[in-house]
């Protein structure tokens, strides 16, 4: 089974991936959980879920999480795509998924996912990663812990500097 990196109990760990990415033009679905594009989810999501499948949705960076607002309770995971690591739209999508839409399921970073961005991703609410740079769980764990403090409120619930100062 393929693997990816997941945050569990506050640590980045290697985990087995129970989901497979399904391209739009693949007719036969593998068994187990599937991650569909938004278009395919809109077309086939109801049926697959009613058949007992676990379904995740992959959003391109120009798609907005608000499109999933009413479906989130039925969705197992949301995969947010970084077509290039410099495309920062998925950070907003992740943060809104957590803060505004209250999504508690897995939010997975896919595409051009580099460990240099680990800290940013964790802070906006990602808790799963498919690294594109060959990095391993130990490296992600170190990257996620690099900064002892943060300055802003975000989706991770960490106390910002101003809150720490009040203690």
**Chain positions contacting other proteins, by CB under 8 A:** 64, 85-89, 91-92, 95, 99-100, 114, 116-117, 119-121, 123-124, 133, 146-154, 161-162, 164-166
Sign of the torsion angle spanned by Cα atoms 115, 152, 126, 56: negative
Element containing residue 58 per DSSP (H, E): strand 55-59
Smallest gap from residue 103 Cβ to other proteins (A): 16
Smallest gap from residue 153 Cβ to other proteins (A): 6
Burial class (CB in 10 A: 0-12, 13-18, 19+), 77: buried
Q: Quote the tokens at residue 67.
A: 């499109």
End-to-end CA distance of the chain: 46
Q: Which is nearer to other proteins, 45 or 111 (CB)?
A: 111
Smallest gap from residue 140 Cβ to other proteins (A): 14
Q: Which is nearer to other proteins, 49 or 132 (CB)?
A: 132
């Amino acid at each position: 089974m393929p693997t990816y990196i997941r945050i569990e109990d506050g640590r980045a760990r290697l985990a087995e991936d129970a989901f497979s990415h399904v391209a739009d033009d693949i007719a036969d679905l593998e068994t187990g959980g599937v991650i569909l594009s938004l278009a395919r989810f809109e077309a086939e999501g109801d049926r697959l879920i009613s058949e007992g499948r676990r379904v995740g949705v992959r959003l391109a960076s120009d798609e907005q999480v608000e499109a999933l607002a009413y479906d989130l309770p039925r969705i197992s995971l949301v995969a947010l795509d970084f077509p290039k690591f410099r495309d920062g739209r998925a950070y907003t999508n992740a943060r809104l998924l957590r803060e505004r839409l209250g999504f508690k399921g897995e939010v997975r970073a896919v595409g051009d996912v580099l460990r240099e961005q680990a800290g940013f991703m964790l802070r906006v609410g990602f808790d799963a990663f498919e690294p594109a740079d060959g990095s391993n769980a130990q490296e992600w764990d170190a990257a996620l812990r690099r900064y002892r403090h943060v300055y802003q409120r975000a989706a991770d619930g960490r106390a910002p500097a101003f809150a720490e100062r009040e203690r």
